A and B are shown apart, each in its own frame.
Chain A
Amino acid sequence: MAETAVKQPVVKEREPLFGPKERKLLTDPFNDNNPITVQVLGICSALAVTSLVYPSVIMAISVTFVTAMSSFFTSLLRKSIPKQVRMIVQLVIIATLVTIVEQALKALNFEIYKQLSVFIGLIITNCIVMGRLEAFAMANRPWRSLLDGIGNGLGYGAILIIVALVRELFGKGTLFAGSPLAWQIIGPSSDYMLDTTSIGWLGWYQNNNLMVLSGAAMFIIGILIWIHRTWNPKLIDVS
């Protein structure tokens, strides 16, 4: 009797593990729901860490890890989290993950840890993380919450890296400075960054110091929002 019961095919309809809905969770934050250009969240760190590309990449990876894992664990606990203290519980989860990232970075790459300094700790206050927990993870299953977290982290990271590429190239004349792949692209002379590979376009461009200051990121993000809205008319608020 028991054997025949086991052999019965499962009639329950299963949703695919990675169907169109799941794909949308990953791609949406790059376009229709970008955390920076559409929701205008996480601007603080986008202004602060984007003067060089390499720290921006590390920051993007760190934020993606935190959004993904905090969404996953919050979703896992969503039914047992008491509603009255849910935000504090979410904060505890976020803060724990951020501390893990900080400790890991301090052990793996101390120079980048020094460079990013307080901004790793400030991921705790990044509105994107808590926004996704409140808006998505508290009402969805762990797998989808994880994808949503990864999508939003990467959507944030993509903007961060675009801004950093512009700022580093025109502000310092280099790309990926501080990493093993450091390149000197343009700039007044080859001796500004000593440890880079130079490609010989030097001498005609004077570094624009405005790009190094955080004000430049504000302009670049503004221009990115403009381009994004022109390109995607769905985003224009008609009300």
Chain B
Amino acid sequence: MHSTRYIITFVAILTMVVALVLSLLATGLKPIHDRNEAIYNKKAILSAIESHLDQKASTMTADQVQKIFDDQIQQVVVDMQGNALEGVQADQVDMAKEKKKPLAEQRLPVYIYNGQDGKIYIVSVRGSGLWDEIWGSIALEDDFNTISGATFDHKGETPGLGAEIKDNPKFPREFVGKKLYNEGGKYVSVQVKKGPITDPVHQVDGISGATITSNGVTEMLERGIKYYEPYFEKQK
């Protein structure tokens, strides 16, 4: 049996050694982690405008992603009244944190892609799935009505069911060409529909077995894109 003093000394030394090793490691790798995370988020944004790019975002290297962002993407942050804010980049806006603020104070990121076919506006939306948060980037053509591409991600949806919004590339592609406004100019958003589609301009086919996640996507789009309406009005 060891004495109490020995045990305390042993544990204290062990803890200090471990703490030193881990803090050195975490501090040393932080710049790489931050860069990886930024590239990961940028790739998600680029995959919303995949049809306008030469290469699929998931197969791009970090340098290629950065080059497109430097050369062709303009980052804007707008407030709820649609005014562009000075001195802040879109990638500095954390949607998860914005969502916790009072609605009037939330800031919205906009990425504007200057391609050969004109400007594409990429907006960010965030909502709730079945288990946890879901979010996405929606690319709009410069009529602020036609969806040009979409990408979704989630924190903890069920693989094979709700997680299909991310894992199945067919799902986001269904949004291409859908319209946000009806013929009378009223905002109707796009619905993820269970069962047969009755309105091919404003509805996409839902994922079987993932009704709550599908409804979450519908709600997220309807609410999230509407926040950008004042900004769209000023750009028109």
Which residues on A are within 8 Å of B, measured CB to CB? 51, 80-85, 88-89, 92-93, 96, 99-100, 103-104, 106-107, 110-111, 114, 171, 191-195, 209, 212-214
Interface pick from B31-39, B99-107, B121-129: B31-39
Q: Are A92 and B18 in contact (CB under 8 A)?
A: yes
Q: Are B7 and A82 in contact (CB under 8 A)?
A: yes
Q: Are A171 and B160 in contact (CB under 8 A)?
A: yes
Q: What CA separation (Å) do A110 and B6 show in the bound complex? A: 42
The 8 A CB mask of B1-21 against A (1 = contact, 0 = none) is 110001100110011001001
4 new A-B contacts, CB < 8 A, other than A83-B2, A104-B29, A191-B170, are A93-B18, A110-B36, A110-B39, A212-B160
Q: Are A192 and B169 in contact (CB under 8 A)?
A: yes
Would you list 26 pairs from A and B whose C-beta atoms are within 8 A, ordered by A residue?
A: A81-B10, A82-B7, A83-B2, A84-B7, A85-B10, A96-B18, A96-B21, A96-B22, A99-B25, A100-B25, A103-B33, A104-B29, A106-B29, A107-B32, A107-B33, A110-B36, A110-B40, A111-B40, A114-B40, A193-B169, A194-B58, A195-B58, A209-B161, A212-B160, A213-B159, A214-B159
- B235 interfacial contact with A, CB 8 Å: no
**Least Cβ distance of B120 to chain A in Å?**
20
Which residues on B are within 8 Å of A, measured CB to CB? 1-2, 6-7, 10-11, 14-15, 18, 21-22, 25-26, 29, 32-33, 36-37, 39-40, 56, 58-59, 158-161, 168-170, 209
Q: What CA separation (Å) do A194 and B47 show in the bound complex? A: 12
Q: Are A99 and B22 in contact (CB under 8 A)?
A: yes
Q: Are A83 and B11 in contact (CB under 8 A)?
A: no
Q: A99-B22, A195-B56 are in contact. Are A213 and B160 (CB under 8 A)?
A: yes
**Least Cβ distance of B195 to chain A in Å?**
19
Q: Are B36 and A107 in contact (CB under 8 A)?
A: yes
Q: What CA separation (Å) do A212 and B169 show in the bound complex? A: 16
Q: Contacts of B15 on A, CB cut-off 8 Å?
A: 92
**Least Cβ distance of B26 to chain A in Å?**
6
Q: Contacts of A92 on B, CB cut-off 8 Å?
A: 14-15, 18
A-B complex: 3 closest residue pairs judged by Cβ atoms = A212-B160, A110-B36, A82-B2
Q: Contacts of B160 on A, CB cut-off 8 Å?
A: 51, 171, 209, 212-213
**Least Cβ distance of B98 to chain A in Å?**
21
Q: What CA separation (Å) do A22 and B92 show in the bound complex? A: 54
Q: Please, which residue of chain A has its CB at the minimum distance from the CB of B40? A: A110
Q: Contacts of A81 on B, CB cut-off 8 Å?
A: 10
Q: Are A191 and B32 in contact (CB under 8 A)?
A: no
Q: What CA separation (Å) do A5 and B169 show in the bound complex? A: 75
Q: Contacts of B25 on A, CB cut-off 8 Å?
A: 99-100, 103
Q: Contacts of A99 on B, CB cut-off 8 Å?
A: 22, 25
**Least Cβ distance of A191 to chain B in Å?**
7
Q: Are B169 and A82 in contact (CB under 8 A)?
A: no
Q: Are B10 and A80 in contact (CB under 8 A)?
A: yes
Q: Please, which residue of chain A has its CB at the minimum distance from the CB of B19? A: A96
Q: What CA separation (Å) do A107 and B40 show in the bound complex? A: 12
Q: Are A82 and B10 in contact (CB under 8 A)?
A: yes
Q: Please, which residue of chain B has its CB at the minimum distance from the CB of A100? A: B25
Q: Please, which residue of chain B has its CB at the minimum distance from the CB of A209? A: B160
Q: Please, which residue of chain A has its CB at the minimum distance from the CB of B50? A: A194
Q: What CA separation (Å) do A212 and B29 show in the bound complex? A: 34
Q: Are A82 and B6 in contact (CB under 8 A)?
A: yes
Q: Are A103 and B58 in contact (CB under 8 A)?
A: no
Q: Which of A89, A100, A103 makes the CB contact (< 8 A) with B11?
A: A89
Q: Contacts of A195 on B, CB cut-off 8 Å?
A: 56, 58-59
Q: Which of B14, B29, B40, B168 makes the CB contact (< 8 A) with A192?
A: B168
Q: Are A51 and B159 in contact (CB under 8 A)?
A: yes
**Least Cβ distance of B21 to chain A in Å?**
7
Q: Which of A88, A114, A192 makes the CB contact (< 8 A) with B170?
A: A192
Q: Which of B33, B39, B158, B159 makes the CB contact (< 8 A) with A106?
A: B33
Q: Are A85 and B26 in contact (CB under 8 A)?
A: no
Q: Contacts of A104 on B, CB cut-off 8 Å?
A: 29
Q: What CA separation (Å) do A110 and B15 show in the bound complex? A: 29
Q: A106-B33, A195-B56 are in contact. Are A85 and B11 (CB under 8 A)?
A: yes
Q: Please, which residue of chain A has its CB at the minimum distance from the CB of B9? A: A82
